[in-house]
């Protein structure tokens, strides 16, 4: 009887032991591929936004080194390097890919139609042919778009209000990015009502920034609308200061770095949203079932120091409207 008990207990031990061992095994680490169109982790925008993304995922239970890991590929803003980086990242077969920017998403879309993708900082993903629709993106891609095309109308109005003497506005854009072309068309449609002429200023190579802007600045009463693109905004900010050109920029960080004024959606909140979509997909939802989200909150930032250097007197009502005024 004692032996039967032993056999029973031993048998039970044989059955229970593997379950016990499995319970003690560490959680499966989920590998996330990331494609960023910046030089490295020291880029100001990366330093500002990346920690927001990873912190939100940690709040949702995904802790780096414990149950998630990030394979980050930096590509710079060069389109060929972006394509190569996308192909290399897809070849490593991550479980999910996070990508910033239109060129980055286009390269990832070309490289894979099966790995789930969540994007951020992408303009007009439908018009760019990157998703089927906002409500039902379809396929393996979803995410968070940046500005609606109508944002360029707000950029034009704010720029004219802060620099009422403007007669010529150069819209700095990349004609290879459909969203940028939409911004141009909207601004041109509103130009007469604002009392300016909007001049297409195609710029897609950092080496051409000084030359292109210097040519534009040869005529008086000019200012700039700088649309979202992978180009270095710091180089444009510095050139605009040298050439005495009032300019409005697409991201809050641009005004904080010395740009005259910015009107932007909340990029911090968007990164938290990206993290929430990554969480939902890792837990079993499909990108095709998650609608592309448009911004709901915008921020106006005015740099009074830059305004003073340009000889501009910012109206009090505009300062009161601003979310941040940099002294």
pLDDT recorded at residue 3: 32
Against a cut of 0.75, is the pTM above it? Answer: yes
Residue ranges of domains in the chain: 30-146+266-296, 151-265+299-326
Long-range contact pairs involving 95-98 (C-beta distance under 8 Å, separation at least 24): 95/30, 95/31, 95/32, 95/282, 96/30, 96/32, 96/33, 96/278, 96/281, 96/282, 97/32, 97/33, 97/34, 97/35, 98/32, 98/33, 98/34, 98/35, 98/53, 98/274, 98/278
pLDDT tens, per residue, the chain with 327 residues: 333 332 333 333 333 334 443 444 567 899 999 999 888 898 888 999 999 999 999 999 999 999 999 999 999 888 899 999 999 999 999 999 999 988 899 999 999 999 999 999 998 899 888 999 999 998 999 999 988 888 999 999 999 999 999 999 999 998 888 888 999 999 999 999 999 999 999 988 888 999 999 999 999 999 999 998 877 788 999 999 999 999 999 999 999 999 999 999 999 999 999 999 999 999 999 999 999 999 988 999 999 999 999 999 999 999 999 999 999
pLDDT recorded at residue 184: 95
CATH code given to domain 30-146+266-296: 3.40.50.2300
- Shared fold status for 30-146+266-296 and 151-265+299-326: yes
pLDDT recorded at residue 11: 38
pLDDT recorded at residue 23: 46
The CATH label, of 3.40.1390.10, 3.30.2020.10, 3.30.70.3040, 3.40.50.2300, for the domain at 151-265+299-326 is: 3.40.50.2300
């Amino acid at each position: 009887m004692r032996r039967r008990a032993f056999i029973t207990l031993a048998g039970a031990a044989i059955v229970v032991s593997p379950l016990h061992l499995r319970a003690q095994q560490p959680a499966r680490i989920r590998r996330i591929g990331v494609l960023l169109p910046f030089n490295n982790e020291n880029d100001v925008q990366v330093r500002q936004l990346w920690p927001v993304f990873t912190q939100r995922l940690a709040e949702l239970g995904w802790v780096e080194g414990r149950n998630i890991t990030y394979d980050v590929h930096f590509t710079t803003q060069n389109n060929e390097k972006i394509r190569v980086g996308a192909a290399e990242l897809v070849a490593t077969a991550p479980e999910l890919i996070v990508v910033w920017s239109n060129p980055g998403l286009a390269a990832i879309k070309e490289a894979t139609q099966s790995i789930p993708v969540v994007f951020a900082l992408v303009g007009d993903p439908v018009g760019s042919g990157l998703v089927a629709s906002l409500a039902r993106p379809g396929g393996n891609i979803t995410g968070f778009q940046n500005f609606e095309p109508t944002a360029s109308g707000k950029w034009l109005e704010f720029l004219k209000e802060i620099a009422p003497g403007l007669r010529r506005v150069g819209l700095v854009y990349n004609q290879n990015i459909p969203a940028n072309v939409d911004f141009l068309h909207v601004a041109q449609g509103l130009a007469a009502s604002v009392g300016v002429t909007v001049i297409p200023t195609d710029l897609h190579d950092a080496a051409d920034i000084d030359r292109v802007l210097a040519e534009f600045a040869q005529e008086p009463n000019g200012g700039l609308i700088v649309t979202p693109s992978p180009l270095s905004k710091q180089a444009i900010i510095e050139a605009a200061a040298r050439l005495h050109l009032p300019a409005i920029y697409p991201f809050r960080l641009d005004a904080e770095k010395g740009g005259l004024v910015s009107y932007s959606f909340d990029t911090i909140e968007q990164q938290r949203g990206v993290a929430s979509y990554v969480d939902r997909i890792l837990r079993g939802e499909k990108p095709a079932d998650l609608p592309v989200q448009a911004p709901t909150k915008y921020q106006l930032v005015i740099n009074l120091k830059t305004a003073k250097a340009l000889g501009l007197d910012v109206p009090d009502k505009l300062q009161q409207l601003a979310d941040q005024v940099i002294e």
